């Protein structure tokens, strides 16, 4: 069996044989399919990239039909059970889990870089008190490029590694400080003796007398949520990261762009949107009317559906389990009953079954965040902090890939042909 595709162009009767590699044909191989020498050649039309592979990657694998998610080959449930977020970040970046010596060096490098430049606190003062935490986070991440001009040398792997460490190390402080600004509290400096998640919780929730002892169950739950959100192959924000990075912009500018992509309610803003939806529904009795509205096309059931998963999102399963552990400490979130009933109805209702809409990672995560005391505006930030590791792993892979160039899609132009501007 030849690994080729034979195309017959019925406009000309000509035949072309195109190689198939890894289940793909190269779109550029279609360019030779032309009706005349003046013809530009055939292109593919794929709005929203539903069937276009933009890269070859060795980082994350998803089987959307079977509900499988692997980071560098390791199943997500095993990583959530047996690893820490910083181990997973190392894995995404380097391809293997760290040895004991590598872990010590890696966590040491992260701890050493954890304090954002002093000017970041001054920048925060310029934001309104009611500024959305994600807007402040995005701006401060972008502003890091002004403090680290060396980050521009993206062709140097050693320089890239330093920026990767800086970014992963500093996003918890940037996120926590945005929250402290919004709540009128002074910022708390990072503490290198704490875990990644514990340090973040401390910077967020420490009281004015300097007190805060993270509850180990909540600290571990947050670390698990960070692991689940660390990467998800070529989603909207990762594509933005790769797209911006392909112009050889510095990584902080690319991270700011990726954060912007994540902010939207169809992507990382969905966890916030789910919580607002549950509050709006208000009680289990109102669910049938809400579902009826969704089925009429008046709004979406947020936290449901996914471009790739056409079965239960494996991350949602782990989040649901983690929620029980968190609620055992914090008390049960009263919105859980509404979420469970929504899920029960949706999984039986023909509208959702036919479209293969299942809960995604965002459906239950907001309930945990709320029970832990985070305001809703922080939810997308809680997604962006761990995803920074995935974005950077994908960015680094892109810069090492000889196949990659500046991202530049084509278009099908349907506007007016050349015409003259009317004269007097």
- Catalytically annotated residues: 267, 306, 362
In the complex, least distance from residue 252 CB atom to ligand CMC, rounded to whole angstroms = 22
Return the residue of 82, 286, 293, 307 that touches ligand CMC, per CB under 6 A: 307
Return the residue of 152, 276, 300, 332 that touches ligand CMC, per CB under 6 A: 300
In the complex, least distance from residue 16 CB atom to ligand CMC, rounded to whole angstroms = 31
How far apart (Å, rounded) are the C-alpha atoms in residues 124 and 180?
A: 10
Strand blocks (E) in 252-376: none
DSSP per-residue letters across 112-149: HT-SPPTHHHHHHHTS-TT--HHHHHHHHHHHHHHH-G
In the complex, least distance from residue 352 CB atom to ligand CMC, rounded to whole angstroms = 7
Return the residue of 93, 201, 302, 392 that touches ligand CMC, per CB under 6 A: 302
How far apart (Å, rounded) are the C-alpha atoms in residues 274 and 342?
A: 11
Is 293 one of the binding residues for ligand CMC (CB under 6 A)?
A: no
Helix (H) or strand (E) holding 394: helix 379-400
Pick the closer one to ligand CMC by CB: 300 or 317: 300
Return the residue of 92, 301, 319, 385 that touches ligand CMC, per CB under 6 A: 301
In the complex, least distance from residue 309 CB atom to ligand CMC, rounded to whole angstroms = 8
In the complex, least distance from residue 17 CB atom to ligand CMC, rounded to whole angstroms = 33
Q: Among the candidate windows 212-220, 250-258, 296-304, 399-407, which touches ligand CMC by CB under 6 A?
A: 296-304
Q: Extract the tokens encoding 196.
A: 């990644």
Q: Which residues contact 372 (CB under 8 A, 6 or more apart)?
A: 218, 221, 222, 326, 330
Return the residue of 93, 240, 294, 378 that touches ligand CMC, per CB under 6 A: 294
Return the residue of 306, 322, 343, 367 that touches ligand CMC, per CB under 6 A: 306
Q: What is the DSSP letter of 61?
A: E
Return the residue of 190, 245, 305, 386 that touches ligand CMC, per CB under 6 A: 305
Which of 288, 258, 278, 294 has its CA nearest to residue 368? 278
Max Cα distance, the chain (Å): 81
Q: Which residues contact 141 (CB under 8 A, 6 or more apart)?
A: 167, 171, 174, 252, 255, 256, 259
Return the residue of 222, 244, 270, 393 that touches ligand CMC, per CB under 6 A: 270
Number of residues counted as binding ligand CMC (CB under 6 A): 19
* Site for ligand CMC, residues 350 to 409, rule: CB under 6 A: 355, 357, 360-362
Pick the closer one to ligand CMC by CB: 243 or 303: 303
Pick the closer one to ligand CMC by CB: 85 or 90: 85
Q: Are 96 and 83 in contact (CB under 8 A)?
A: no
In the complex, least distance from residue 212 CB atom to ligand CMC, rounded to whole angstroms = 30
Q: Which residues contact 357 (CB under 8 A, 6 or more apart)?
A: 301, 304, 305, 346
* Site for ligand CMC, residues 230 to 269, rule: CB under 6 A: 235, 266-268
**At residue 304, what are phi and psi to the nearest 5 degrees?**
-120, 145
Q: Are 361 and 307 in contact (CB under 8 A)?
A: no
Residue numbers of the site for ligand CMC (CB under 6 A)?
A: 235, 266-268, 270, 294, 300-307, 355, 357, 360-362
């Amino acid at each position: 069996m030849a690994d080729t595709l034979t195309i017959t162009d019925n406009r000309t009767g000509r035949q072309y044989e195109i190689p198939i590699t890894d289940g793909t044909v190269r779109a550029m191989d279609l360019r030779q399919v032309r009706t005349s020498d003046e013809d530009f050649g055939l292109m593919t039309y794929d709005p929203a990239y539903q069937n276009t592979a933009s890269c070859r990657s060795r980082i994350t694998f998803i089987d959307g039909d079977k509900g499988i998610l692997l980071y560098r080959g390791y199943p997500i449930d095993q990583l959530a059970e047996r690893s820490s977020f910083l181990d997973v970040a190392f894995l995404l970046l380097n391809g293997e889990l760290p040895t004991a010596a590598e872990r010590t060096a890696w966590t040491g490098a992260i701890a050493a870089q954890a304090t954002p430049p002093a000017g970041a606190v001054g920048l925060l003062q310029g934001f309104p008190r009611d500024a959305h935490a994600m807007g402040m986070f995005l701006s401060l991440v972008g502003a890091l490029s002004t403090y680290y001009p060396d980050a521009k040398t993206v062709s140097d792997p050693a320089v890239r590694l330093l920026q990767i460490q800086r970014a992963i190390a500093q996003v918890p402080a940037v996120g926590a400080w945005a929250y402290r600004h919004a709540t009128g509290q002074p910022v708390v400096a990072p503490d290198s003796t704490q875990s990644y998640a514990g340090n973040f919780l401390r910077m967020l929730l420490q009281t004015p007398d300097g007190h805060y002892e993270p509850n180990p169950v909540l600290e571990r739950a947050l670390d698990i949520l960070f692991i689940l959100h660390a990467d998800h192959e070529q989603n909207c924000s990762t594509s933005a990261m790769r797209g911006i990075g392909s112009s050889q912009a510095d990584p902080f500018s690319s991270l700011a762009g990726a954060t912007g992509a994540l902010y939207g309610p169809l992507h990382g803003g969905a966890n916030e949107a789910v919580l607002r939806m549950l509050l709006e529904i208000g009680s289990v009795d109102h669910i049938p009317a809400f579902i009826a509205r969704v089925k009429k096309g008046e709004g979406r059931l947020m936290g449901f559906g996914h471009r790739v998963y056409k079965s239960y999102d494996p991350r949602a399963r782990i989040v649901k389990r983690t929620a029980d552990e968190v609620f055992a400490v914090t008390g049960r979130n009263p919105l859980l009953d509404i979420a469970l009933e929504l899920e029960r109805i949706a999984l039986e209702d023909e509208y959702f079954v036919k479209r293969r809409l299942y809960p995604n990672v965002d459906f239950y995560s907001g309930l945990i965040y709320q029970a832990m005391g985070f305001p809703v505006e922080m939810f997308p930030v809680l997604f962006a902090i761990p995803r920074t590791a995935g974005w950077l792993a994908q960015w680094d892979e892109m810069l090492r890939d000889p196949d990659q160039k500046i991202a530049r899609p084509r278009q099908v132009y349907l506007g007016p042909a050349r015409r003259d501007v009317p004269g007097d």
